[in-house]
Amino acid sequence: MGTCELVSPSRFVVRMKFHPGAVAAFKEVDSGRYDARARLWSFSVREHDRLQGRLSPLRPEFALEPLPRWVVDVFGAKGDAERERRRRRSASARSIMSDEMGETLREGLMPFQREGVEFALKRGVSEFN
């Protein structure tokens, strides 16, 4: 028996005792990465269901407790749309900074100030009071 544990918004790890059939299945998943130090396999959340499918022939000898469905939905394929929106907002903020701010002002900003302006632009703040 193994368990899945979300370790970042895009990856999860599998905690289990060694099982040769499971390891063979892990190697077939594109995003599978083995951490020899921690002795853990990690995978993209997007491939969670694919991994479960590859392991199904090993039941009942080996079973992997899945991540909750809502976790897979939020952080898997459905989370891609939100990440894409954030990426576009960030690109738009950088574009506004480079197009509408004077070069002297933009270059005079310290890194934390630049981040603050980008943060405000991403949130739709157009003027500061």
pTM over 0.75? The answer is no
Sheet holding 64-65, edge to edge: 33-35, 40-44, 11-15, 2-6, 64-65
pLDDT for res 2? 93
Write out pLDDT tens, residues 11-59.
999 999 999 999 999 999 999 999 999 999 999 999 999 999 999 999 9
Q: Where are the domains of the chain?
A: 2-67, 79-122
Write out pLDDT tens, residues 68-106.
998 998 888 655 666 667 677 666 666 666 677 777 787
What CATH class does 2-67 carry?
A: alpha beta
Dmax over Cα atoms in the chain, in whole Å? 67
